[in-house]
Amino acid sequence: MDLEIKQHDEFQRKEWLATRIGWAAIALFLLAGLLGFLGSGPFSQTTAASDSGDVAVEFQRIGHNNADDNLTIDLASQTVADGKVTVHLTGDWPNNVDITGVSPQPSAEYAVPGGTAYEFEVLDGADVSASFAFRSTGYGPLDGTASVDGDAVDFTQFVLP
């Protein structure tokens, strides 16, 4: 007695192909996450600097909505005048994040068109590093500009859910 089993070779080949594509997609997604293309990781931290190099912004390329994050602005000593330096943060970025802390504490903070200005008291001849702790309140690309006396640097952070 023979069993007659119909085989659908074409269907089975397509199913195996779809399975392999699915496993490859999962592996790529996992690798992207481990490398920092979906959040924290070795490729997520970056620095953008102005043409003169006097203003630099260190930030995560990818952030997550309502997650704690950090942005650091490094300023060369020549940006300090009379013991003070004022950093203007403008664009989408300052309007779509809640800044939860600034270190060192600014001596003044006030609104400017399209953003906020932070004034820091500094010893003349010293480099300045200001760290901003924040939480994103939106999704998608957030463009920002950090400027000191017309020397500006643009940066973009992409916020995922």
H or E element in which residue 75 lies: strand 68-75
φ/ψ of 104, rounded to 5, equals -70, 160
pTM recorded for the entire structure: 0.78
**Residue matched to tokens 């939106």:** 138
For the 45-160 domain, the top CATH level (class) is mainly beta
Residue 99 has a CB neighbour count (10 Å cut-off) of 15
Q: Count the alpha carbons within 13 Å of 40 in the hemisphere toward its beta carbon.
A: 4
- CB 76 within 8 Å of CB 148: no
* Digitized pLDDT (tens) for each residue of the chain, 161 residues in all: 677 777 788 898 999 999 999 999 999 988 887 877 776 777 788 889 888 888 999 999 888 889 899 999 999 888 888 888 999 999 999 989 999 999 999 999 999 999 999 999 987 777 889 999 999 998 899 999 999 988 899 999 999 88
Token pair for 12:
């089975």
